[in-house]
Amino acid sequence: MKRTDRIIALTEILLTHPNELLSLGYFAERFDTAKSTISEDLGTIKESLRIIGRGYLETIPGAAGGVRFLPSINQEEAEIFLANLAEELSKSERMLPGGFIYTTDILYKPAIVRPLGLIFASIFRKRNPEVVVTIETKGIPLALMTADCLGVPAVIVRHGNKVTEGSSVSINYISGSSDRIQTMILGRKALGVGKKVLIIDDFIKAGGTAKGIMSLMQEFEAEVVGLGILMEDTSWNVTRLVDNYLALLQFDVSDSSIEQSAVKPKNMLYNNL
């Protein structure tokens, strides 16, 4: 195999096995090539990834070591993507009665949700989350893509109990925007005890749901290391029930006219990118 062909094949393996530790011996045996040659090829790939800002290779020394591809997205690409997404979400035909935006098609489109998962993963990776948690339903694609980019499982909190989940923990919480008492449930086998948890959701208004998930995490002795939100409602003029969250987009219902953009990217510091 020519070196160019081998580098392409190596890159394909790394991209399709994110966050997985792969040994030099594995590559050497697969391509019938010396480990030193594989090491040179990986060095070339590492530099290419650095240039395009689409992740990096982590090298683990020692007999049990190898390389691990960690997906990410650079700041410039993230900002352009979020600006384009805000423009799409600001279209007048997406505005719904009551000051809501239709986002279902967006949140189930892999070409859009995967970059969002890369952004969340790039921001929160250094906090070493072990699980990504969300609540059904529209937060599921965001959480799943983020979990994939981090190489950790995703866990779904539900509003109703299912017999297939086994024994579960349930709590009642108050929706901050409607002042209604609701219930959320999580199976005991789904999360385990003492995990580092990253919470991902699609929207925040008063923060009642996010606070409810945090309370539920306490029942599992979990440590919440981050709260990532796709879009926040900036028209909410009452103190939110949670703070220290990161929102990618801002939505102001008072701007939801044809002439004005209702959704805008939030100014953020990409300290981890």
Question: Is residue 15 a contact partner of residue 69, using CB atoms and an 8 Å limit?
Answer: yes
pLDDT, tens only, 258-272: 445 589 998 765 554
- Whether this model's pTM surpasses 0.85: yes
CATH code of the domain occupying 75-265: 3.40.50.2020
> What is the pLDDT at residue 185?
95
Residue 242 DSSP one-character state: -
Separation CA 114–CA 194 (nearest Å): 28
User: Which CATH architecture is the domain 3-70 placed in?
Assistant: Orthogonal Bundle (1.10)
Site of tokens 């290779």: 57
Please determine, for residue 136, whether its predicted confidence score (pLDDT) is greater than 60: yes
pLDDT, tens only, 112-126: 999 999 999 999 999
Counting runs of H as helices and runs of E as strands, what totals does the chain give? 9, 12
What are the Cα distances from residue 1, in Å, to 10, 28, 33, 78, 239? Answer: 12, 12, 10, 36, 62
Question: Is residue 42 a contact partner of residue 67, using CB atoms and an 8 Å limit?
Answer: yes
Please determine, for residue 12, whether its predicted confidence score (pLDDT) is greater than 50: yes
Percent helix / strand / coil, the chain, rounded to 5: 40, 25, 35
pLDDT, tens only, 153-209: 999 999 887 777 788 999 998 876 667 888 999 999 999 899 999 999 999 988 999
